[in-house]
Structure 1
Amino acid sequence: MKRPLRETNSDPVQLRRLTLALGLFAVLLGALALPGCSGCWNPFTRQSAQKDDEEDKDKNDPKRKPKPDFEFFELQKNGKRQQLEALPSDDLMALKPGHWASVRQPARANNFNFNGDLLTAATDSSGRPLNLERTLYRLQMTRPAALPKGQTKQLESLVFVPRREGRQGNRPMVLSRLRSRGGGSAIEESFAPALMEPFQ
């Protein structure tokens, strides 16, 4: 004997619950089908974790000397060591007074990422910027400098060495200063370039 079919009253609340449950199930099923980042199974994450562990061991080693926060590096050119390179590259760090020059300097932040500015200026031997010829104005060039931790970057800048007509003695220097965005100086070095003659 067949049982008679029951008439069902479609309750709107039950219908909404059923629709919501089916929709949620479809979303979860779709999420499983998406490709993942492989973060948990990625061999590179294991390697980086091992590298971090080794760095932590090195940091806790009492024999290890702490590195300075910042370093300017010396360039090796044909057996000569120089800290600043005039561009286009040459063997001698030579600048011509009264002319603009592009200079490059390798730098690195050892202990943290650094976002700041590189200040470049022609100075006297005491570090004061030189007056531009026949004016009372001084020129300093600044540019943004971002140094990722542990990576050496080549920082390029412009410098103008004014003519020093009639002034003997003080040889112009080129000042490079890294400073943080807040204005504090991080590292500062001066370099003595070779000066070209006017006819060169």
Structure 2
Amino acid sequence: MVKPTLSFSIRKARHADAALLPDIERSAAQAFRNIPSLAWIADDEPISEKRHEACIAAETCWVAVDETGNPVAFLSTRREGVRMHIMEMSVVECMQGNGIGAALLETLAVWAEKNHLTAITLTTFCDVPWNAPFYARKGFVVLAGNELDNGLKAILEEESRHGFLHGSRCAMQRLVGRKRA
């Protein structure tokens, strides 16, 4: 059976979107129920509305909206010097696998290049198919321990304190202006 093409567009997030983003993250996290050791993530607290509001105010949050204008995905980032760091990207569970995440990443890459930034970074699960392997296909590379700056080290340490197994997460980077293969 052929998967239907879904219609969506991407725009900067608006103040009114902040209240909707935690529910999108909760929906996206349901995919972790299929991985017994990570199923707890499906019940974990999402990023707060207040943190999303800060990203929206800084104009570093984008949403994908369906044909009716309802947000179905988001990408929340923060600027860290000459790079952008992805705090969270989530797509509602029923819309995953339709290119929405890839489109959000490309939107960020174009924006970062226009704003003269050098890289985009994130932390993610090393072995979850829709995490590091997905980002690798989008031009991100895993950073080795000696390539991590203090900020990325601190994020990985905080994630370990939050309950993620040490070594299960990695930091990745995509240089801005480099096209993915």
| TM-score of the pair, normalised by structure 1 | 0.21
Q: Highest CA radius of gyration, 1 or 2?
A: 1
Which has more helix, going by share of residues? 2
More strand by share: 1
